Structure 1
Amino acid sequence: MSCSKETDYIQSLCCVQWPLSYLFIFWILQPLFIYLLFTSLWPLPTLYLAWLFLDWKTPEQGGRRSSWVRNWYVWTHLRDYFPVTILKTKDLPPEHNYLMGVHPHGLLTFGAFCNFCTEATGFSKIFPGITSYLATLSWFFKVPILRDYLMAKGVCPVSQQAIDYLLNHGTGNLVGIVVGGVKEALHSVPNTTTLLLQKHKGFVRTALQHGVHLVPTFTFGETELFTQVVFCQSSTMGRFQHVFRQIFGFYFCVFYGQGFHQDSTGLLPYHRPIVTIVGEPLPLPHIEKPTQEIVDKYHALYMDALQKLFEQHKTQYGCPDTQKLLFL
């Protein structure tokens, strides 16, 4: 096997391990954890459960990030698979806190994860003094072991309590929220840029309540990684996706990409460059109880800044000049 092919296989395996690691924790470690309670090794899970009870509020209070986990070499292989890069347009002074809108969601948010949950793309060097967090579904942090793995990478619950804590304690904190949420995954189709943003204004209200800066970001290539099968909402599969979302908090998407061989079909993402552009921070006034009119005003300013960010960089990173952002 040539060195190039060997590297490709290593990168592919590292790409696969990221989503599979969550399935491994949930479907294998969790049942094993329960099984041990009924064996002679019962003190081990019992001690963990006791500690879990004492540690229950940690995810809502800044978490417990690990530089060691964020610097695992496996993340550099994940980065190089696409590759993933991050580009800053303005400095983020560490004397402020920031609430960052992450767009688009895509299917698995490879770009956001690689840039803000690992050091593979050099976030700490590009934005010195800034500590990044990426918010995700809160129920993940109720799952033993999984919660600790997520916190180690700088992931926090997308709950008001967790976000308020990070924006209230110290400076230099940047909290990323995938504003479109999991529903936006259904719009993750190649050659389109559909964002669920028009009615999503809670992040702007939170930014105003804390007087922090809003940071727009756009990740080019995120929606190009898979081919998704789109179902009509009224179809049987469409209704199943809706029920699945109500139960588990995310959508059951049907998609495919490439296999371990580039010309084959499989569940690996396509080798497409992912570039995250971090826009200029938008300073907001500190208003503890902002009116809806004020929220609407700064929401419109944010949408305009995001639109300009996309227009300035789209042709450079693979989008045709005619492609526009569609806000729903």
Structure 2
Amino acid sequence: MWCLLLVVCFNTELCTGCSILSALQDLPSAPWPALRSKMEKHLQVISVLQWVISFLAMGAAGTVLLIYMFCTDLWVIAAMYTAWLIFDWNTPKQGGRRSSWVRNWTMWTYFRDYFPIRLIKTHNLLPSRNYIFGYHPHGIFSFGAFCNFGTEATGFSKKFPGIKPSLATLAGNFRMPVFRDYLMSGGICPVNRNSIDYLLSQNGTGNAVVIVVGGAAESLNCAPGKNSVTLNNRKGFVRLALQQGSDLVPVYSFGENDVYKQVIFEERTWWRLAQKRLQKIIGFAPCLFHGCGFFSSDSWGMVPYNKPITTIVGEPITVPKIEQPPRDMVDLYHAMYINSLTSLFDKYKTRFGLKESDILHIH
């Protein structure tokens, strides 16, 4: 219950909260440097925890609240919101409703600094082209993907001027009241054909759709120190890139798998089969994981470990536009993409704590 209360309190007073965060950020360093440092650390934890709880509970809480309002004197408000929701139903599939104000909230800088998260640019991207970013690995919550492409905390717009990122996530999230608007405000869109087609064909140029290619299946295998991606049989994003003539950009986040510890069940065990079955039914994988507690890193809890996450945006692969690409063409560009991702990993791995002998496992 306290988790739901935290989500409601944090997200219903965001304007006030952002003002408070800004004011705290401007406090002089003296005469309380230790207090200031401790306060900033707590704000960082709260910023990360609110996103975790929002992702897990805001949709369900919003749905329950809407149903409850229909049973009270507030039913008129609930009816008006439901009518507007029906009218606005297709907005997520038509570019969404992003807010530069939300993307620049001070809260996201605390989110970024908790781990910390960094975004590294290796090549320029042309605003006259459209792009599909393949993000790897998924991790548990894809913190690097959200922070880098769903907010401006790491300066995406400054590093890639003229490029507008749209992070793609489960379409089911956009059927939940309130949560759908929260996601859209960050430029997040459904990971389905209609939504991505709209962004790449009817929204001009300079668009970058970010797809976490491994998806829920990959999250079942993530663990600290594990460098593996689910990619061999994931070719739909390559076919889509060819149909739209959008360049492919490999993206790898070092440290994404290190922020939570997960119990990984052996293949063919009952628990593993249950995870995969639920993944097919609900669209995401129910992982058994833990981080640290709110007040102590030595205890268990939902707060992720503050391990550095560094996201490397690789060199774009120029893709021609072919409305009906043959299978061999899809296989060719899929192989090019794998080679590019592997080269990106090998080039930067030793800079972020890995050994020269470490390799990227592709499944």
What's the TM-score, normalizing by structure 1? 0.97
SS in structure 2 opposite 1:233?
Answer: coil
Instruction: Give the structure 2 partner of residue 203 of structure 1.
Output: 237
Gap regions ≥5 residues in structure 2: 1-33
Instruction: Give the structure 1 partner of residue 304 of structure 2.
Output: 269
Instruction: Give the structure 1 partner of residue 163 of structure 2.
Output: 130
Runs of 4+ in 1 over 3 A off after TM superposition: none
Shift of residue 47, structure 1, vs aligned partner: 1.0
SS in structure 1 opposite 2:346?
Answer: helix
Spell out the pairing of 1:210-229 with structure 2 (5 A cutoff).
210-229=244-263
Instruction: Give the structure 1 partner of residue 105 of structure 2.
Output: 72
SS in structure 2 opposite 1:177?
Answer: strand
Deviates further, 240-249 or 93-102 = 240-249
Say if 2:119 and 2:148, in contact at 8 Å, map to a contact too: yes
CA distance in 1, matches of 2:356, 2:102: 40
Gap regions ≥5 residues in structure 1: none
Shift of residue 242, structure 1, vs aligned partner: 2.0
1:292 equivalent to 2:351? Answer no
SS in structure 2 opposite 1:283?
Answer: coil
Q: What per-residue deviation string (whole Å, max 9, x for no partner) do you get for residues 169-199 of structure 1?
A: 2000000001111110011111111111011
CA distance in 1, matches of 2:306, 2:58: 27
SS in structure 2 opposite 1:256?
Answer: strand
Question: Which of 48, 51, 55 in structure 2 is aligned with 1:18?
Answer: 51
Instruction: Give the structure 2 partner of residue 327 of structure 1.
Output: 362
CA distance in 2, matches of 1:256, 1:25: 20
Letter in 2 for 1:219: S
Instruction: Give the structure 1 partner of residue 29 of structure 2.
Output: none
Instruction: Give the structure 1 partner of residue 342 of structure 2.
Output: 307
Letter in 2 for 1:111: G
Letter in 1 for 2:223: V
Instruction: Give the structure 2 partner of residue 31 of structure 1.
Output: 64
Spell out the pairing of 1:39-58 with structure 2 (5 A cutoff).
39-58=72-91
Q: Higher helix share goes to which structure?
A: 2
Letter in 2 for 1:225: V
Question: Which of 220, 238, 252 in structure 2 is aligned with 1:186?
Answer: 220
Letter in 1 for 2:157: S
Spell out the pairing of 1:68-147 with structure 2 (5 A cutoff).
68-147=101-180
Say if 2:62 and 2:179, in contact at 8 Å, map to a contact too: no
CA distance in 2, matches of 1:218, 1:276: 6
Letter in 2 for 1:277: I
Q: What per-residue deviation string (whole Å, max 9, x for no partner) do you get for residues 68-99 of structure 1?
A: 11111111111000000100000111111001
Shift of residue 321, structure 1, vs aligned partner: 1.2
Letter in 2 for 1:314: K
Q: What per-residue deviation string (whole Å, max 9, x for no partner) do you get for residues 1-44 of structure 1?
A: 73322221211111100011234423333211111112221111
Shift of residue 203, structure 1, vs aligned partner: 0.5
CA distance in 1, matches of 2:182, 2:323: 34
Q: How many residues align?
A: 328
Deviates further, 140-149 or 105-114 = 140-149
